[in-house]
Chains A and B, each alone.
Chain A
Amino acid sequence: MWNWDMFFGSLPMVFKGMWVTLGVTIACYLFAMVFGFVWVFLKRIPFKPIQWIVSIILEFIRSTPPLVQLFFLFFGLPMVPYIGVSLSPLTVAVIGLGVHFSTYISEIYRSGIESVDKGQWEASIALNLSVKDKWIKVILPQAIPPTIPMLGNYLIIMFKEVPLTSTVGVAGMLFMADKFGARNWAYLEPYTLVAIFFLLLSYPSAVLIKKLENKLNRRFDKKAPLGAKNLKKGVAIDG
C-alpha cells in the first residue's frame, strides 16, 4: 500500500539523482550537437560510395535500440581483442546516447542547411569566400537558428531517454530509486516520485519550446519576414 514515509524518505536520494540525470542529459546533448555536424559533413563529401556508407551507418544507429548500444559499449567493448578499452558508466552514457541522438540531430541540421536560399550559396561563391567563411559567416548563421525549436524538442526527448543509462550504472534518478527500493523493499513510492520529477521537468520545458517555436516561426517566416509584421497586426497568428 501507499506509504508516505517511503515517499518522503526517497526524496533526498532521488533529488540527488536528478542532478546527475540533468548533467548527463546536457553532456549527451552537447556531444550529440557537435557530433551531428560530423555526420552532416561526412554526408556532403562528393563521393557516392562514402555517402552510401554514411547513410547506412546512420540508418543502422538510428534504427537499433539505444539500450543495446549502451550494453555493447559497456559490456562488449572491453572484451574486444587488442583494441578493447573499458569505459566508465558516464563515458558510456555520453558516447552511447550522444552518438545515437547525433544521427537525429544531423538530420535537423541537414534540413536547416537545405532550407538556406540558393542565392546565398551563389553569393558566397561570387564574393570569393573561403569554404570556412562560407559556412561560418553565411550558411550556418541562417541554417541553425530556425531549427532551434526542433533541437529543443530533442533535448526533451533525450532527457527522457537518459534513465536508460541506469542500466549501465549511471547514478541518475532511476538508479537511485532502484537503490532505495532494494534497500527498503518499497518500489512504488520512489518510482512514482521519479515519474513526478520527470513530468515536472519535461512538461514546462515542452511548453517553453512551443512558445519559442511560435516566436521563431514569426521571425523566420520567409513569406512574412520582420518588415511585414505590422501588416499582420490584429490578426491572430496561429502556429
Chain B
Amino acid sequence: MSPISQIGEIFPVLVQGLNTTILILITSAFFSFLVAFIAGFGRLSKNIILRKCTGFFVEIFRGTSLIIQLFWFFYALPILFGIDLGSEFWACVIAISMNYGAYMSETVRGSILSVSHGQTEAAIALNMSRFQRMKIVILPQAIRMMLPEFGNYLIQMLKATSLISLVGLADIVYKGQLYTNTNLSATPTVYLLILVFYFMIALPLIGLTKWAEKQSSKGVASQ
C-alpha cells in the first residue's frame, strides 16, 4: 500500500478519537483553573489550618506523577471509599485537573505575591476593603502575569491527555493503537500521524502563549 493511501485510511480513524481528546482537554482545563484559584487563594489565606491543608494537598499532587494519580483514581478510589466516579471520563478529568490545578496554584500564588506591595498600600490608603483590594487592584495585574504560565500548562495538559488511553478512553492514541492491532505494517505511520495531530492541536496553544508573553508585562507594577 502506498503511504499516501495509507494516510488516507488512518486519518478518519484518528479523527474519531479527536473528540474525546479535545473534550477532556477543555473540561480538565476548566476544572484545573478552578482548582488553581481555590488552592492558590487557600495558600494565601490568613487561616493557618486552611493554609496548611491546601499546602498539603498541593504537595501531594505535585510530588507524585500524573499517571499514578490517574491509576489511583481509576482503580483504587472505587475500592477504598466505594466511590464510583460514574465514568472513566470523570476519573480522568479529576486526575488531570487535580494534578495541574496543584501546579497552577503555585503560579496563582506566586503572581499574586509578586504584585508590588505598593499597590496594596495604595489600595489601603484609598480605604478599600480586603476583597476590593484583591478584586480591583491586585488580581487584574496578577492575572496578566499568570497568562503565559497558564498557556504553558495548557500545552502540558494537552500532552497529558494522551495518558487517558491507558485506562481505556477512546482518544486519538487509543484509536490509533486499535488500528495498529490489525494493520501491523502501518504502525510507524499511525504513531507519526498521532504526533502530528497533537502538534496541530498544540499550535494554537503555542501561539496563545507567545501572545500572552507579550501581554503579561503590560500595565503591571511588579517588584
Q: Are B76's CB and A191's CB within 8 A? A: yes
162-197 of chain A: CB within 8 A of chain B: 162-164, 167, 174, 181, 187-188, 191-192, 194-195
User: Of the 9-residue stretches A73-81, A122-130, A214-222, which lies at the interface with chain B?
Assistant: A73-81
Which A residues are in CB contact (< 8 Å) with B195? 60, 64, 68-69, 72
A71 within 8 A of B: yes
B187 interface residue, CB < 8 Å from A? yes
Contact A164–B75 (Cβ < 8 Å): no
Partner of A195, one of B72, B162, B163, B184: B72
Chain A binding site: helix, strand, loop or mixed by DSSP? helix
A residues 52-101 near B (Cβ < 8 Å) are 59-60, 62-69, 71-72, 75-77, 79-80, 84
With known contacts A63-B199, A65-B159, A79–B187 Cβ distance under 8 A: yes
Type the 1/0 row for B166-208, where 1 means its CB is closer than 8 Å to any CB of A.
Answer: 1000000100010010001111101110110011001101100
User: For residue B59, which residue of chain A has the nearest CB?
Assistant: A203
Query: A-B pairs with the 7 shortest C-beta distances?
Result: A65-B162, A160-B65, A63-B202, A72-B191, A76-B188, A187-B75, A188-B76
B contacts, CB < 8 Å to A: 59-60, 62-69, 71-72, 75-76, 79-80, 155, 158-163, 165-166, 173, 177, 180, 184-188, 190-192, 194-195, 198-199, 202-203, 205-206
Given A60-B199, A79-B188, A188-B79, CB of A167 within 8 Å of CB of B166: yes
Give B64 Cβ to nearest chain A Cβ, in Å.
4
Dominant SS among interface residues on chain B: helix
* Chain B residues within an 8 Å CB radius of A199: 59-60, 63-64
Contact (Cβ within 8 A) B162 A68: yes
Number of interface residues of A (CB under 8 A): 39
Q: Whose C-beta in chain B lies nearest to the C-beta of A195? A: B64
Cβ-defined contact, B80 with A2, below 8 A: yes
Q: Contact at B68–A198, with CB atoms within 8 Å?
A: yes
B166 contact set on A, CB distance < 8 A: 67, 167
Q: Do the beta carbons of A206 and B158 come within 8 Å of each other?
A: no
